[in-house]
């Protein structure tokens, strides 16, 4: 925690070696499924866990999807008549503030010369959000109270399923003859694969034990649910979680009063226990058969499901 009392930023990097191994395994599994689909299905049935569709597990496919979406966002931007696209180059002063996403992100950029000055261009952009997007922020940078660079940022109203974050950031400054130089960044980040934290079949699990307690053991609540519908509902929440994005985030420090949750899926026969621990910092810890797996996201969905089950 810093001197102002704000929570210190925390990074949750993925285990890149583990993810690389999972990606290699997925490619081998793809070849095996093509050669002998029946054998692949039989193997999955005996494990009690089900790999996510391979088309969204391969990192290259996710990057391609994010790149395509970034191009779509750029194409949606409406600019004044007479605007001319320039050959890309870095321009001093046009360095946008982008989201602190460390990996699994693409940034498609473009540079334009717009005939209007900064003030008129700023009003134009704020009044004409691209289709399906809203103005999420705007402002200016300057010196001695005078604006030298302005910015308008747009966000999609709704994100595609595998996309974690998307921004269309416009940054502009004066050019010659009353015109403006405009830099546009379409930054799109995608969820990484779930790695070893594979999805489960609810039918293979007979019960779920939910524990809620403070870190010092106070206010402990425990409930084991056995109804097939409730087990399936909790499994569905877990199955919808994404791989945790690699981001810097501010997290409150845990203390003795921090409330924690743990959901343990107990197998009916011949499969592995799945233990899920949503944290107060967006991420969800997972252990399958006692072995730790990459974190999932978001924790609030799992916490809400646990609270409902404890009522």
For the stretch 214-259, pLDDT in tens is 888 888 999 999 999 999 999 999 999 999 998 887 777 667 778 9
Distance of alpha carbon 229 from the chain centroid: 29
Give every residue of the chain whose pLDDT is below 50, as ranges.
1-47, 50-57
**C-alpha gyration radius of the chain:** 24
For the stretch 164-185, pLDDT in tens is 999 999 999 999 999 999 999 9
User: Model pTM greater than 0.75?
Assistant: no
Helix, strand, or coil here: 141? strand
Distance of alpha carbon 242 from the chain centroid: 7
Confidence (pLDDT) at 143: 80
Rounded distance, CA 49 to CA 45, Å? 8
Residue 245: which of 180, 173, 298 has the closest Cα?
298
Report whether 235 contacts 265 (CB < 8 A). Answer: yes
CATH 1.10.3470 fits 63-190, yes or no: no
User: What residues contact 204, with CB distance under 8 A and at least 6 apart?
Assistant: 48, 267, 268, 269, 271
Confidence (pLDDT) at 58: 66
Confidence (pLDDT) at 257: 77
- Listed by start position, the domains of the chain span 9-58+193-310, 63-190
The continuous run of DSSP H or E covering 13 comes out as none
Tokens, residue 235: 């499994």
């Amino acid at each position: 925690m810093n001197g102002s009392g704000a929570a210190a930023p925390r990074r949750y990097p993925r285990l890149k070696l583990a993810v690389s191994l999972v990606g290699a395994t997925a490619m081998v599994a793809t070849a095996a499924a093509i050669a002998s689909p029946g054998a692949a299905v039989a193997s999955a049935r005996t494990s009690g866990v089900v790999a996510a569709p391979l088309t969204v597990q391969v990192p290259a496919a996710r990057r391609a999807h994010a790149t395509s979406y970034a191009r779509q966002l750029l194409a949606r931007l409406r600019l004044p008549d007479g605007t001319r696209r320039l050959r890309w180059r870095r321009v001093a002063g046009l360095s946008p503030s982008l989201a602190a996403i460390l990996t699994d992100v693409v940034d498609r950029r473009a540079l334009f010369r717009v005939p209007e000055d900064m003030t008129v261009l700023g009003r134009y952009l704020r009044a004409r959000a691209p289709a399906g997007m809203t103005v999420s922020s705007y402002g200016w940078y300057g010196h001695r109270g005078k604006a030298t660079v302005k910015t308008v940022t747009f966000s999609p109203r709704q994100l595609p399923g595998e996309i974690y974050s998307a921004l269309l950031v416009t940054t502009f400054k004066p050019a010659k003859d009353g015109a403006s130089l405009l830099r546009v960044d379409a930054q799109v980040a995608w969820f990484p694969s779930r790695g070893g934290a594979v999805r489960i079949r609810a039918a293979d699990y007979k019960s779920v034990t939910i524990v809620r307690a403070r870190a010092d053991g106070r206010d402990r609540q425990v409930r084991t649910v056995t109804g097939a519908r409730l087990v399936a509902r909790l499994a569905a929440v877990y199955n919808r979680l994404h791989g945790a994005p690699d981001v810097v985030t501010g997290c409150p420090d845990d203390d003795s009063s921090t409330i924690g949750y743990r959901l343990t899926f107990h197998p009916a026969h011949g499969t592995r226990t799945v233990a899920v621990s949503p944290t107060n910092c967006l991420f969800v810890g997972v252990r399958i058969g006692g072995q730790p797996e990459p974190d999932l996201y978001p924790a609030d969905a799992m916490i809400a499901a646990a609270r409902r089950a404890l009522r």
